[in-house]
Amino acid sequence: MSELAVRAEKLDGADELAPLKSRFVLDGAVYLDGNSLGALPAHVPGRVEDVVRRQWGELRIRSWEESGWWTAPERIGDRIAPLVGAAPGQIVVGDSTSVNVFKALVAAVRMADEGRDEILVDATTFPTDGYIAASAARLTGRTLRAVTPAEVPAALGARTAAVLLNHVDYRTGRLHDLPALTAAVHAAGALAVWDLCHSAGALPVGLDEHGVDLAVGCTYKYLNGGPGAPAYLYVRSDLQDRFDSPLPGWNSHADPFGMDPSYAPAPGAPRGRVGTPDILSMLALEAALEVWDGVSVEAVRRKSLALTDFFLECVTACTEPGRVESVTPAAHEERGSQVALRCADAGDVMKRLIDRGVIGDFRHPDVLRFGFTPLYVGFAEVERAARILGEVLG
């Protein structure tokens, strides 16, 4: 047994989160792709079966009331809230991340002072945010400017209406400074919209504490909600009355069953709803969130950093110098819960890793991406992944 394997065993023995692994369906593989699709929580299949067979099959339309279908978007939003540092009543679940970026950004522009004609967007963003921001700018008659998060403070000014940023960079795993950037955006008189896809469930976000204006995120990565599980929208409570949705569907009406031909927005988080919620996907997510019962996000963050630290150390020990290069920051305050390694032939290397039971993913053009979900990844797996990477790289 190598020194690293011995250390891994000790780290696993001391890991207070290790018992959580039993809440998931896992196999012999080392699953380091929870930042793409979280693993299946073990109790979810039974719950989905109940939703399908009893709630839909037997109760049918009665389930809109009796099974709590109608209120699911805001109820599940409140379940996500503590994971991102939000008080209840500010998050609503539904639609995709892209659609929620659209709602949030158009609404932010409408909240901004009238003369402000520019939207800033993270130039390194996951592409959909940039595409949707361009559409939001076009439809609201604003100019879109792409800048890196580091350039944001200098780019802010009297023209800035809103800024759309990613908390963690999907490719490099870099964690951006949400408190400082939000403060800078506010100092310039603009609104900050954050995309939490790669941070929620992996590290503390502190939406309320840091005064974030609006935020969106997906639920199928570190929140393990299932493939394409609905996304969520956060609107800070004191901004909700000014939230003017570009997608004012009937579910966001103050009296949705009044069937009023004229629109009157609901108060609170439900104002962010649009159409009829996709109940099967939504209630699978609700069940999946139960794995968080009794789990502290701070403990998750501590383990996440220990896992990525140990992975970087093992990779250094197991690979020839220069064969891979981490593009993920070494500093803890700049690191999310993934490690991205630049590597020649990354696409081919990832295929061979997967054949050997180490599941990460490849991001064009040359990045091996490994996500570490502290709820179900342990240190022995980290050591094994790095060791097999070393073998694959020869």
The encoded tokens of residue 379 equal 């240190």
Per CB under 8 A, does 98 bind its own copies? yes
Query: Are the CB atoms for 92 and 237 separated by under 8 Å?
Result: no
The secondary structure of residue 142, as a DSSP letter, is -
Catalytic, out of 126, 243, 310, 376:
126
- Least distance CB 148 / its own copies (angstroms): 12
**Pairwise CA distance, residues 242 & 245, whole Å:** 9
Out of 1, 259, 320, 333, the only residue in the binding site for its own copies (CB under 8 A) is 259
- Least distance CB 202 / its own copies (angstroms): 17
**Pairwise CA distance, residues 241 & 267, whole Å:** 7
Question: Annotation-wise, does 127 bind a ligand?
Answer: yes
Pairing relationship of beta strands 191-195 and 143-147 according to DSSP bridges: unpaired
Residues 186-215 that bind its own copies (CB under 8 A): none
Closer by beta carbon to its own copies, 94 or else 378: 94
Per CB under 8 A, does 326 bind its own copies? no
Per CB under 8 A, does 359 bind its own copies? yes
Question: Annotation-wise, does 195 bind a ligand?
Answer: yes
Question: Annotation-wise, does 198 bind a ligand?
Answer: yes
Query: Are the CB atoms for 156 and 185 separated by under 8 Å?
Result: yes
**Pairwise CA distance, residues 350 & 381, whole Å:** 17
- Least distance CB 145 / its own copies (angstroms): 13
Per CB under 8 A, does 281 bind its own copies? yes
Task: Quickly list H helices, the chain.
Answer: 3-13, 44-50, 63-66, 72-80, 97-111, 127-140, 152-155, 178-187, 279-288, 297-318, 346-355, 379-393
Instruction: Give percent helix, percent strand, percent coil of the chain, each to the nearest 5.
Output: 45, 15, 40
Cis amide prior to 365 (ω within 30 degrees): yes
The secondary structure of residue 62, as a DSSP letter, is G
Residues 123-182 that bind its own copies (CB under 8 A): 123, 125-128, 130-132, 134-135, 139-140, 146, 171
Closer by beta carbon to its own copies, 236 or else 253: 253
**Pairwise CA distance, residues 89 & 141, whole Å:** 31
Question: Which residues, 6+ apart, have CB-to-CB distance to 356 below 8 Å?
Answer: 388, 391, 392
Per CB under 8 A, does 227 bind its own copies? yes
Question: Which residues, 6+ apart, have CB-to-CB distance to 385 below 8 Å?
Answer: 30, 32, 311, 314, 353, 358, 360, 370
| 220 labelled catalytic | yes
Closer by beta carbon to its own copies, 4 or else 266: 266
Per CB under 8 A, does 114 bind its own copies? no
Residues 24-53 that bind its own copies (CB under 8 A): 25, 27, 31, 33, 36-37, 39-40, 44-45, 48-49, 52-53
Question: Annotation-wise, does 170 bind a ligand?
Answer: no
The one-letter amino acid code at 31 reads Y
| 221 labelled catalytic | yes
Per CB under 8 A, does 351 bind its own copies? no
Per CB under 8 A, does 263 bind its own copies? yes
Catalytic, out of 24, 170, 220, 234:
220
Closer by beta carbon to its own copies, 66 or else 238: 66
Part of the chain binding its own copies (CB under 8 A), chosen from 152-160, 183-191, 270-278, 295-303: 270-278
Query: Are the CB atoms for 36 and 370 separated by under 8 Å?
Result: no
Task: Report the binding-site residues for pyridoxal 5'-phosphate.
Answer: 97-98, 126-129, 195, 198, 220, 250, 276
Q: Which residues are catalytic?
A: 126, 195, 220-221, 369
